[in-house]
Chain A
Amino acid sequence: DGGITQSPKYLFRKEGQNVTLSCEQNLNHDAMYWYRQDPGQGLRLIYYSQIVNDFQKGDIAEGYSVSREKKESFPLTVTSAQKNPTAFYLCASTHRIAGGVDTQYFGPGTRLTVL
């Protein structure tokens, strides 16, 4: 069954703790993305990776870190430096094609609540 998986669906952490969100895809996609969504708002790009061992900051990268050691995996760490980490986090992936990128497909999301 091909797709993008994010785990867990719900995550609770105490303030001051780092937490890592998982994103795995078996679509053989080259590029992967992390977005954040706050209630009633659209998605905002945190980080993205076009190839393994390379990634770029998005619009709201402060307080987050990522790694891309494998093509299938793009974990996101929410650090204690992120001032307002409670949000819905979405992972996406796509193929890179000649001169550009293809359609992005999204995972089911992880809802993080920091207490």
Chain B
Amino acid sequence: DAKTTQPTSMDCAEGRAANLPCNHSTISGNEYVYWYRQIHSQGPQYIIHGLKNNETNEMASLIITEDRKSSTLILPHATLRDTAVYYCIVRGYNTDKLIFGTGTRLQVFP
């Protein structure tokens, strides 16, 4: 069973920031928060991951709350190509399995 809870769907206007929330209230101290996205009929694409600190890369920013029970993925300037299903996954450092829930379907509109 997925250890995370995400909204089923969200909309975002093109050019605006998309903020995707994720609840992981049962996360353990050595578990990372990973984000992937999947565009229709393609393989999941890795976006970003973090443990405690906020992280930023060329694709997105990840904000993790101090108690680590929730996080937010931020796409700073959403484009139509960001329309996809976004998965928030909690994974232990030495765990091979990624547990995917049903994710958040983000629709970016013009």
Contact = CB atoms under 8 A, between A and B. Distances in A.
B2 A42 contact: yes
A100 B44 contact: no
A104 B102 contact: no
Contact of B94 (A40, A42, A58, A100): A100
A74 interface: no
Nearest to B99: A42
A42 B89 CA distance: 11
Interface residues of A, number: 30
A41 B98 contact: no
B96 A42 contact: no
A106 B34 contact: no
Given A41-B102, A58-B97, A100-B93, A107 B46 contact: no
Contacts of A31: 96
Interface of B: 2, 34, 36, 41-46, 49, 87, 92-103
